[in-house]
Chain A
């Protein structure tokens, strides 16, 4: 059974960098996309971006200038770095395993439990 677990600080100061890691267990990194999605308190889901096991990435255009997603296949982990955060980045951050069918069939079948990151001084 594939499991994902987010880890990282729960509190980040404004203008600083948010860094999260997702550890994948029970399955291989190969053959899948690995995604980050966030959900501000009381609001809907927002896609942040994903990385293919080969290392190629796609990012939400609204976050792209501040965002890096990276992959460490040797440790079955992938990471999110979001720079220059503001209160608007306060959210529950989820990592997920994503599959693709054809050119448009992206779907995420395994999710982490989510971690709340608060941006506040």
Chain B
């Protein structure tokens, strides 16, 4: 079965750029989306179709996807961005989630 791999945790200082990666075989040939989940809340879609931002998502969130790695980039990271982030893709009639990355802003 298809697997998406994320680092368990990433730390960033306020105002700096955070990069969260998601790797999978030939991932660049698939669309990837990203969700943000804060404690006790439902996931929120922050990037879809690799690079698109839903309405209401700040411009500091951006995405890319090439070869075997998709990346969620948060520019000028703010304390409110501290959350778990999950990548998601579709393979063989199945939605697959990455294991999630806990972003700490400190």
Chain B interface bracket (under 10, 10 to 19, 20 to 34, 35 or more)? 20 to 34
Judge if B96 is at the interface, Cβ distance under 8 Å: yes
Which one of A45, A102, A107, A111 has the greatest number of beta carbons of chain B within 10 Å? A107
Nearest B residue (CB) for A92: B42
Q: How many residues of A contact B (CB 8 A)?
A: 25
CB-based contact B42/A104 at 8 Å: no
Nearest A residue (CB) for B84: A44
> Binding site of B, secondary structure by majority: helix, strand, loop or mixed?
strand
Residues of A within 8 A of B97 (CB): 44-47
List CB contacts (< 8 Å) of A17-58 with chain B: 35, 37, 44-47, 50, 58
CB-based contact A35/B49 at 8 Å: no
**Which of A107, A112, A114 is within 8 Å of B49, CB to CB?**
A107
List CB contacts (< 8 Å) of A37-82 with chain B: 37, 44-47, 50, 58, 60-61
B residues engaging A (CB < 8 A)?
1, 30-31, 33, 35, 37, 42-45, 48-49, 54, 84, 86, 88-91, 93-100
